[in-house]
Amino acid sequence: MSHSLASFSSLPKPVKKYIAITANYWAFTLTDGALRMLVLLYFYRLGYSPFALATLFILYEVFGVVTNLVGGWLGARIGLNKTMLIGIVIQVLALLMLALPSEYLSVVYVMFAQALSGIAKDLNKMSAKSSIKLLLAKVNSEEAQSKLFTWVALLTGSKNTLKGVGFFLGGLLLTTFDFQVAVLLMAMALTIVALSTYPMLRGDIGKTSYKAKFSQLFSNNASLNYLSAARLFLFAGRDVWFVIALPVYLASQLQWQHQAVGTFLACWIIIYGIIQAKAPKIIPFFTGKVERTSHQQVTLWSVLLVLVTLLLCFAIYLYPQSNEVLVIGLFIFGAAFAINSSLHSYLIIALAREDGVSIDVGFYYMANAMGRLLGTILSGIIYQQFGLLVCMLFALILTSLASYFVRKIA
């Protein structure tokens, strides 16, 4: 133990900060995934319709849009370490709000708690991803772009893997404890992580050398704008079937138990995260001009995702009650989606300005949040009216739009 502590204390300060940021990001992601599954399954059990379930997450996504935009500006003004800690405090507050007895958990009240959670999540994510570019530049400037891709892929992939573990944890907690006890346990765990990492997150990471103006929030970089549009439709194309339609379909049409639903979604996200983290080894990554080589890769993989989505639509149409077809098809979709997401995440960090990185990253993840919001709303409405197949047809349209905007990146 003493040897491990000595090794840690000898690490450069930027590496220590990266470890602290990653620990916060991981802990937050675990509780965020668990909370989503807890809310979804608990209120489905209380008899909420698919559209009503979707409304619970609408403010979560709406405030994610606002937070990414304003949070990027705030990070540039006060530092990314401070915005990350603010996000954790807000998440603990949201968890404590949901610890009230079930008779007080009205739709409006839960929507407001989820709104706080959405603010917290996107403050945390924007802070963590923006910090990588700045910390990496201090650790090693050689082979910066290949290292940047590796670090971004590792952080993003591990985040999604832990989000999957969170889905499983949410289903397990709801099976083992009352809903209120489960959220209290998560609030306590997150508080412990925040207090233990706070000493390593002092300073002004990401604070700009100038006073960032609110008018600078909207990007005038054409490539960044096209990438943001592609990100919007990419995540709308996933969430239109994943957020509401799939778990409700598994529970109501295929008669899966809550624990089975949570386990499947957890495995899907975990494998998706592993593929994201391994993307630098899966994708041939060439040296040279980053924008050109990465653009070729993301264009290729965006077309592949559209083809996979098309095949999945046919599979669900031909075998609507087949567990095997649905499960295998969704894992193939997840693999193609993971590569696309990893390339997108790398490109935004590579294209962002170093002095003001949080502003560009915040703008980009605002588009990401808008895509999730669009997908969430469509998922509840379309599934309730037409079913899972039509949700997948909308996924095909949305992923095709993502591919279109990717091809317009210069």
3-class SS at 8? helix
In-domain check, residue 34: yes
Torsion of CA 386, 388, 389, 390, to 10 degrees: 50
Beta-carbon contacts of residue 8 (< 8 Å; ≥ 6 apart): 16, 19
**135/84 Cα distance (integer angstroms):** 15
**40/26 Cα distance (integer angstroms):** 21
In-domain check, residue 6: no
Give the residue, 3 or 240, on which the prediction is more confident. Answer: 240
pTM of the model: 0.75
pLDDT, averaged across the chain: 79
**283/235 Cα distance (integer angstroms):** 21
- Across 190-219, average pLDDT: 63
Q: Does the pLDDT at position 359 exceed 60?
A: yes
Query: Contacts by 93-98 with C-beta closer than 8 Å and gap 24+?
Result: 94/35, 94/120, 95/31, 95/35, 95/183, 95/184, 95/186, 95/187, 95/190, 96/183, 96/184, 96/187, 98/35, 98/39, 98/179, 98/180, 98/183
The top-scoring range by mean pLDDT among 201-215, 248-262, 280-294, 347-361 is: 248-262
Look at the chain and count its residues.
Answer: 410
**222/40 Cα distance (integer angstroms):** 38
In-domain check, residue 2: no
Q: Fill in the DSSP letter of residue 215.
A: G
Q: Which of 373, 337, 362, 375 is nearest to 122 (CA)?
A: 362
Angle of CA points 199, 349, 285, to nearest 5°: 120
Q: Does the pLDDT at position 4 exceed 50?
A: no
- Across 136-153, average pLDDT: 59
Give the residue, 374 or 159, on which the prediction is more confident. Answer: 374
Q: Does the pLDDT at position 9 exceed 90?
A: no
Q: How far is CA 36 from the centre of its chain?
A: 12
Asked if residues 337 and 305 have their Cβ atoms less than 8 Å apart, the reply is yes
Q: Which of 159, 73, 57 is nearest to 115 (CA)?
A: 57
How confident is the model at residue 134, as a pLDDT? Answer: 63
In the chain, the percentage of residues whose pLDDT exceeds 70 is 79
Q: How confident is the model at residue 145 (pLDDT cuts 50, 70, 90)?
A: low
**388/385 Cα distance (integer angstroms):** 10
Beta-carbon contacts of residue 184 (< 8 Å; ≥ 6 apart): 95, 96, 99
- The model's pLDDT over 232-251, given as tens digits with 9 standing for 90+, comes to 999 999 999 888 888 888 88
In-domain check, residue 213: no
Domain that holds residue 327: 12-197+221-406
3-class SS at 353? coil
Q: In this structure, what token pair is assigned to residue 386?
A: 């037409």
Give the residue, 102 or 151, on which the prediction is more confident. Answer: 102
In-domain check, residue 255: yes
Residue in this structure with the two tokens 């990471």, named with its chain if needed: 205
Q: How confident is the model at residue 205 (pLDDT cuts 50, 70, 90)?
A: low
Instruction: Domain count for the chain, please give it.
Output: 1
- The model's pLDDT over 372-391, given as tens digits with 9 standing for 90+, comes to 889 988 988 899 899 899 99
Give the residue, 76 or 33, on which the prediction is more confident. Answer: 33
Q: Does the pLDDT at position 209 exceed 90?
A: no
Q: Fill in the DSSP letter of residue 373.
A: H
CATH code where residue 185 lies: 1.20.1250.20
How confident is the model at residue 142, as a pLDDT? Answer: 45
3-class SS at 336? helix
Q: Which of 326, 347, 349, 329 is nearest to 337 (CA)?
A: 329
The H helix count followed by the E strand count for the chain is: 15, 0
- The model's pLDDT over 301-330, given as tens digits with 9 standing for 90+, comes to 999 999 999 999 999 999 888 888 888 999
Q: In this structure, what token pair is assigned to residue 275?
A: 């593929």
**29/164 Cα distance (integer angstroms):** 9
H helical segments located in 46-79: 50-78
Asked if residues 153 and 276 have their Cβ atoms less than 8 Å apart, the reply is yes
How confident is the model at residue 203, as a pLDDT? Answer: 61
In-domain check, residue 306: yes
In-domain check, residue 3: no
Q: Fill in the DSSP letter of residue 321.
A: T
